[in-house]
Amino acid sequence: MARRDDITGAKALNGYRSSHANNKTKHRFDVNLQKKRFFIPEEDRWVTLKVTSKTLRTINKNGIAAVLKDAKNAGTLKKGII
């Protein structure tokens, strides 16, 4: 199962850790995913989504219906949610 945001499609980034001696070791920067349930009043149903904390703040600000509509128009919404 991919660790990816269901709405924005955000995924992990790759990079390096750097020691004081400037030695580089590979490192994976995972996204801060949270599994949350949202109620969509237009469809009168609950939806469980894996979203990042940044997406969760956007949902709190704009509302779940507006965020889902924008994601659908942008083409980043995971299939089968709406």
For domain 32-76, which architecture applies?
A: Roll (2.30)
How far is Cα of residue 39 from the mean position of the Cα atoms in its chain? 17
Residue with tokens 């919404």: 77
Average pLDDT over residues 66-82: 89
Supply the mean pLDDT for the chain: 94
> What one-letter code names the amino acid at 34?
Q
pTM across the whole model: 0.84
pLDDT at 29 over 90: yes
